[in-house]
Chain A
Amino acid sequence: MLEDYAVHGARHVVDSPADHLEVLSPDVTLRWGWCRTPHWSKFRFGAPGSRVGSQLPDPERLLVSASSAVPTRTASVFAIRIDGVTKRFGRIIAVDDLSLTVAPGEVFGFLGPNGAGKSTTIRVLLGLIRPNAGTATVFGDLAGDVRLSHRHLAYVPADVALWPSLTGAEILELLGRVGPGIDIEYRAELVDRFDLDLGRPGKTYSTGNRQKVALVAAFATRAPLLVLDEPTSGLDPLMEREFRRCVTEARERGQTVFLSSHHLAEVEAVCDKVAILRAGRLVEIDSITDLRRLRRTVVEVSYLDARPSVENVAGVSNVEDLDGARLRFSLAGPPAPALAALAAADIGAVAMREPTLEEIFLDYYGQTAR
């Protein structure tokens, strides 16, 4: 279990009894997290209608072996666990044997071109549709059992539709009252920050404003998991910046964010980890740092006399001669052989640059058919 944590990039290190709780019980983590940050101390714990009581940790999940600190129910550790999920619509396979896990507290980017199966995966995760095979769990609760699994999450759909006759304020009131509990003061602050006019009926909102209503409703919840499906497609750059700040604040509060997006710069800016989907299959899942490292590095070299010979070196590709005794090539995998080849020549300067997420993304999709 602890290995899992290391692999999946958890930000907490298990070294004290308090941290055991953080890792093993997401619910406790949250309560603790809320109380710790000034923002979330505004929560009205135990207020009428709040469901704090129902979020108390399941005693079974707190079972810890004193010697190894390994929990008996490993599944409960993950905010999201998708296990071999396949979903077919007629003859079309939308999602094909997809497995991934998201650790609590992580901001997880979910990338893929249109029709790759991102929204289908999210709909399976929300229990809106049933997978043909496999299971999905949210903090250990099966996605299909929405009374349990939806206590842990708030959702912003890709295409937000509002009840046409309800005003923004009325929609927020409804979702706040029937959802997993909200921070009213924080919601008021978000309305302000997103510059949202709440007096207008739903049908008069533009696409961006409808998205803002859904975002305010989701970020104001105390749900430990935020599932956001392309939430910024209709937002202007100012609002997009506000969105990124909200994701950062959610992470600071200990909330997990599952973000499906086409905005690679946004994913790069806010996400700890990224999964890349193609034609319903997972093609890559890694932290952004490792993703860059594993993919390729762009190397530019200026040499003094003899041109270094790197053509047949392991990991080197796209060798290009530039003006003025300069050379550019891509490097993938361990850099030692290429560095050795460079060391053999008389090198003036070396510049190495990691690829942007966009370059990585295009690497996956640029040359191959979906």
Chain B
Amino acid sequence: MTPATTTRSVVASMSPAAPGLAVSRLSIRQVRRGAVIVAVVCAGMSAIVAVQYQTTFQGSIDQSGLRALVENPAIRILFGPPVALDDAGGFTVWRTGTPLLVLAGVWILLSATRITRGEEEAGRWDLLLAGGLRTADLVLRCLGALAGSALLISAAIGSGLVAAGTDATGAFVHAAGVLGVILTFAAAGVLAAQIMPTRSAAVGLTVGVLGVDLLLRMLADGVPALAWAAWATPFGLVARAAPYADNRVAPLLVLAAFPVLLAGAALGCARRRDVGSGLVAEATSRPPRTGLLGSIAGFAVRRAVRPTIGWATGIAAYFLLIGALIASILEFFDANPRFAELAAGAGFVGLDSADGFAAALFSLLAIPTGLYAATRLATMVADERAGRWTPLFAVPVSRSRLVCTEVAVIVAGVVGLHVAAALAIWTGAAITGAPLGIGAALAGALNTAPIASLGLGAAALALGGFPSAVGAVGALPVAGGFLLNVITQGTRAPSWLVNLSPFGHLAAVPDAPPDWAAITALAVIAAVLIALGVAGYSRRDLSS
């Protein structure tokens, strides 16, 4: 065969669309597993809450109570404006809408930055771009894969609601709103990846945008003069669509413009920039900052400072807001005791006192702090796989000391996050004159730290045995445990299943005295998991 015929046959076997198709397939492969998990969790949560409502709450809320709920600014700020609470679908959207939107939004923005800036940072896009494809082509293919994921998640939520027996039109409007919100954050993540030079900076920018959008929605719902701001944030628009009540189309159309504009901007930026860098240039030279580089422990602290401040800022902002709203919420429960009973039915006991309300929210605090611990160890594995640890593996320091130092810094970080939450909620309460002391706030916040330490323990165990699953295994005790707690509360689940969740075991500090036996038990379990993880890590083959 001559060279000419060889070339011709190769060209014939590869149609012009093939490289693009291959990149599309690659992008889908990179997100499909996470998309399916998020879709199942979101659909499951929606369906379970809708079914729970039909079996327990239906018809038990009177009209005056509903009016009080709608008029209370604190409730509106936290959960959005309650509409159609007399309907299973309407209640589910109000109860699960914001948390699920945040969950899916955060997942898709992390995925968006991972498959774009992350891949580019790792140098893998250089290979893809050596062919006929341009950067903008790759960005477009990534946007396509993310749009497919968003469609899957929103369709799953809509189907879950319909399957639970709610109105199909409302389910469709809600699913369309969810799709718009998730697509917005997918496109925002991809745009940030074009602007920022590193993956972490792109993630930080997009998470910041998500936080500002949430804040705008809260302001729009809490302050009547700022109600117009709802039209500027996806969270506000999805609420304005009022699924199961008015089923408005106009907010959805405005919402649809968000991802279109962001994606267009991302493609425009992709055409203007160099591969390997963002529109924002990175400093190519700077004087050395040698602080905290003198020891393994110092270096562990140095690496942890920035991400910990990021987590602390988010957590403190939320708890400051909660603290500021306590007074208003107490007034509401005073006037409408029926809602306190309903909340108790859903697992939140004693919401009618400042201490009780704080205790309920501190139990939620363990979810982000547990995830913080898991992500820190997941980062350690990612750095190990990238070979960054290799020079440190060659110094005369045992592996158990390396990992124990890392774990100790994470424990300090978790405690720091809980203290930050306590100080923030106390500050908010003090500003608005709610009866919450600083001692009570600290005791309540630190009481739930052992739950977060279980997340750390599980992640450490995976670090020693299944390093590729550190993030997922670490998230299991806190995220999985919380879901289990929510699901088993309203159903007659067997007691062993209820007891599997760490959230059911601790006392509601500061409303009740701490349960030292439970705290000790959780801490001991976490310590054993960490010890097993350290032993495994010391023995396993390092991937470097």
Contacts and interface: CB of A to CB of B under 8 A. Distances in A.
Contacts of B198: 164, 203
B388 A162 contact: yes
B383 to A, nearest CB: 8
Contacts of B383: 163
A173 B283 contact: no
B290 A173 contact: yes
A12 interface: no
Interface stretch (B137-145, B204-212, B396-404, B420-428): B396-404
Contacts of B339: none
A249 interface: no
Interface in A156-185: 157, 159-164, 167, 169-171, 173-175, 177-180
Chain B interface main SS type: loop
A128 B541 contact: yes
Nearest to A174: B293
Interface stretch (B49-57, B294-302, B345-353, B444-452): B294-302
Given A129-B542, A174-B293, A199-B287, A163 B388 contact: yes
A185 to B, nearest CB: 18
A177 B391 CA distance: 12
A197 B394 contact: no
Contact of A161 (B288, B387, B397, B541): B387
A170 B399 CA distance: 22
A151 B396 CA distance: 5
A187 interface: no
Contacts of B431: none
Interface stretch (A56-64, A142-150, A260-268): A142-150
B121 interface: yes
Q: Which range holds the interface residue count of chain A?
A: 35 or more
Contacts of A162: 388
Given A126-B394, A128-B541, A150-B396, A198 B284 contact: no
Given A167-B286, A200-B285, A201-B283, A178 B393 contact: no
A161 B394 CA distance: 14
B492 interface: no
A167 B388 contact: no
Interface in B269-296: 282-290, 293-296
Given A128-B544, A157-B390, A146 B396 contact: yes
B226 interface: no
Contacts of A282: none
Nearest to A167: B288
A128 B395 contact: no
Contacts of A81: none
B518 interface: no
Contacts of B261: none
Interface in A185-220: 197-201, 203-204, 214, 217
B539 interface: yes
A108 interface: no
Interface of A: 49, 51, 123, 126, 128-130, 146-151, 153-155, 157, 159-164, 167, 169-171, 173-175, 177-180, 197-201, 203-204, 214, 217, 227
Given A128-B541, A161-B390, A204-B282, 6 more contacts: A128-B393, A150-B396, A155-B390, A164-B198, A177-B294, A201-B282
Q: Which 10 A-B pairs have the closest CB atoms?
A: A161-B387, A155-B394, A199-B285, A169-B288, A150-B396, A129-B541, A174-B293, A151-B396, A128-B542, A177-B294
